[in-house]
Amino acid sequence: MEQKEAKKRVYSGIQPSGMLTLGNYIGAVRNWDSMQDEYDCIYCVVDQHAITVRQDAATLRRRTMETYALLLAAGIDPKRSILYVQSHVPAHAMLTWVLNCFTYVGELSRMTQFKDKSEKHADNINAGLLDYPVLMVSDILLYRSDLVPIGADQKQHLELTRDVAARFNNLFGDTFVVPEPYIGKVGARIMSLQEPEKKMSKSDENVNAFIAMLDEPDVIRRKMRRAVTDSEGTVRVAPEKPGISNLIGIYAALTGLATEAVEKEFEGKGYGVFKDAVADVVVDALAPIQARYKEFLADKKALEAMMDDGARAAEAIANRTLSKVYRKVGFVERKRH
């Protein structure tokens, strides 16, 4: 009898440092849902990564719960995937210390995100800000992940993960899976509605620059009408039209239409008509997610039980990897009596 080939394992995480945006949904979360049948998926709310920047404790706790509930509402199914909170699995921090000793300071100081965040938070350039890529390496390697979905801003982190995994394997023999980047269907990279040259970000100080997944319909429509465009008035993709190109990308992503089909549909129509149409498809896409989110968040005990189940499932895999690493580096195994 022919053996069924094991599914490849995908690992990905998202920070609870702010409300997830339309960019997070189109660029990542929607794809997480669609990957669950084809792959063995492990998804994480990475709350430990969030504290490299100062967080209010009560706000971080609330946002962690909200992010977890929102991922469930967006289609992440605990029966088909593992969904857990990073700080619930101590192996992440424990492996990070070991891997710190196999990662070079030069590798960390070259990270562009370290440079960017150091400029933004010049009063708080903490060791965690320099070192969090090693925590990211641990996140991935703990679960023997085959594939990691990455954006352009995280290529360096995956390269570091591969380098550290190979370095450790060369010293101690086959221990870690060296992960590959997940190259899925090309999705739209959603940009800021106010500064369309930069990516839409949940931490943007200008609330009109992003659409949060929980924004009410009238808020979505208002933000869309205020979106920066240009004076030409033609709905077409062009390098000199980043604002309207971004809106076309959103409309195409949510309707499944090709860019050319969007341009044809709105040929001869003004930006006002087009912006309203984009707002409508965004509202329609987010409405069922928002309804399910409210249901999940309304039952806190059930949500906490799902978190615990997810942590147990994640821990079972992570602890096996950690135990193997501890033996290889020479730590004495604790004998429990």
Q: Catalytic site residue 202? A: yes
Q: Which of 199, 223, 241, 275 is catalytic?
A: 199
Whether 187 has a pLDDT exceeding 70, the answer reads no
Percent of the chain surpassing pLDDT 70: 94
CB under 8 Å to 311, separation ≥6 — which residues?
84, 85, 88, 89
Distance between CA atoms of residues 41 and 32, nearest Å: 8
Band (3; pLDDT cuts 50, 70, 90)? low
Q: State the pLDDT at residue 28.
A: 87
- What is the rounded average pLDDT of the residues 127-142? 92
Distance between CA atoms of residues 269 and 250, nearest Å: 18
pLDDT digits (tens, 9 = 90+) for 290-325: 999 999 999 999 999 999 999 999 999 999 999 999
Q: State the pLDDT at residue 265.
A: 93
Domains of the chain: 9-183+300-329 (3.40.50.620), 207-295 (1.10.240.10)
* Residue matched to tokens 């193997």: 324
Q: State the pLDDT at residue 144.
A: 96
Residue 146 CB-half CA count within 13 A:
9
Q: Which of 4, 7, 117, 328 is catalytic?
A: 117
**pTM confidence score:** 0.90
Residue (of 6, 22, 14) closest to 209 by Cα position: 22
Q: Catalytic site residue 117? A: yes
Average of per-residue pLDDT values in the chain: 91
Whether 216 has a pLDDT exceeding 90, the answer reads yes
- Where do runs of H (alpha helix) occur along the chain? 22-24, 30-35, 47-50, 57-73, 91-100, 105-109, 112-120, 127-142, 155-172, 217-225, 242-255, 259-265, 271-298, 300-329
pLDDT digits (tens, 9 = 90+) for 28-44: 898 898 899 999 999 99
Q: Which of 4, 202, 241, 324 is catalytic?
A: 202
C-alpha 47, offset from chain centre: 12
Q: State the pLDDT at residue 184.
A: 64
Q: State the pLDDT at residue 188.
A: 63
What is the DSSP code (8-state) at residue 177? -
Band (1; pLDDT cuts 50, 70, 90)? very low
Q: Both tokens of residue 159? A: 């390269």
